[in-house]
């Protein structure tokens, strides 16, 4: 399974957001990861659909990987789809009916991801594996960028990948939080094939070299 890199623009210089997104694309990333926070589901606020709409106008060919860390993903899915989202991920822990949210996102015309926080047992997501295009296992507590990678993450990824393989599913498995050139091989060896990279990318002296290095590390780590 081809490994992909999604650049978390939460770590970008927001005063130059379009340029920072272009920098990531020029460095070779596959997607732009847009973290949406409402100040309720997580204790932080970020950007809404109008920001994505502006980015999409500036960079219409980019793939937008939208991560909704919000209480009401059903309400806002259509707004983000209209703004240019290609993939919309919501949290299993949000106070919604997951199957209804999956249906709402699909009706909006986007691929669907479902995410779990570090404290949520991975088995909780198993009933929905056949309904989604991607599972996102958080490797930090959602809400803020720049956190350290939680060491239990590889075993959680491996448990999800085993269940996907048992069912014969080709669902993407994404990991987000503290992913860098040291932790990326651990994630891919455990079964992740989509890596969200933020601080490591935007703080790198040479983002293109780092992206190439990450691709090479992940490919080398694949069985």
Residues acting as catalytic residues? 35, 176
Q: Report DSSP letters for 10-61, one per residue.
A: GGS-GGGHHHHHHHHHHTT-SEEEEEEEBSSSSS-B---HHHHHHHHHHSTT
CA 78 to chain centre: 19
Give start and end residues of each alpha helix (H) in the chain. 17-26, 49-58, 73-83, 98-107, 153-167, 184-190, 199-202, 207-221
Evaluated on CA atoms 196, 202, 203, 208, the torsion sign reads positive
The residues facing 64 across adjacent strands are 32
Q: Report d(CA 181, CA 210) in Å as an integer.
A: 8
Q: Report d(CA 39, CA 24) in Å as an integer.
A: 27
Q: Report d(CA 16, CA 212) in Å as an integer.
A: 24
Helix (H) or strand (E) holding 90: strand 87-91
CA-derived radius of gyration, the chain: 16
């Amino acid at each position: 399974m081809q490994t992909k890199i999604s650049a978390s623009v939460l770590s970008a210089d927001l005063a130059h957001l379009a340029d920072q997104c272009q920098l990531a694309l020029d460095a070779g990333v596959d997607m732009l990861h847009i973290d949406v926070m409402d100040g309720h589901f997580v204790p932080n606020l970020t950007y809404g659909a109008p920001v994505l709409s502006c980015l999409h106008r500036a960079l219409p060919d980019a793939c937008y990987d939208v991560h909704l860390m919000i209480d009401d993903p059903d309400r806002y899915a259509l707004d983000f789809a209209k703004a240019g989202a290609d993939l919309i991920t919501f949290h299993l822990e949000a106070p919604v009916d997951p199957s209804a949210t999956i249906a709402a996102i699909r009706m909006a015309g986007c691929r669907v991801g479902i995410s779990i926080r570090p404290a949520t047992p991975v088995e909780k997501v198993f009933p929905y594996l056949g309904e989604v295009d991607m599972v996102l296992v958080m490797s930090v507590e959602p809400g803020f960028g720049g956190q350290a990678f939680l060491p239990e993450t590889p075993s959680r990824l491996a448990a999800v990948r085993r269940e996907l393989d048992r069912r014969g599913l080709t669902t993407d498995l994404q990991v987000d939080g503290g992913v860098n050139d040291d932790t990326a091989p651990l994630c891919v060896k455990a079964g992740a094939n989509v890596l969200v990279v933020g601080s490591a990318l935007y703080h790198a002296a040479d983002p293109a070299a780092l992206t190439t290095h990450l691709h090479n590390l992940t490919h080398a780590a694949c069985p």
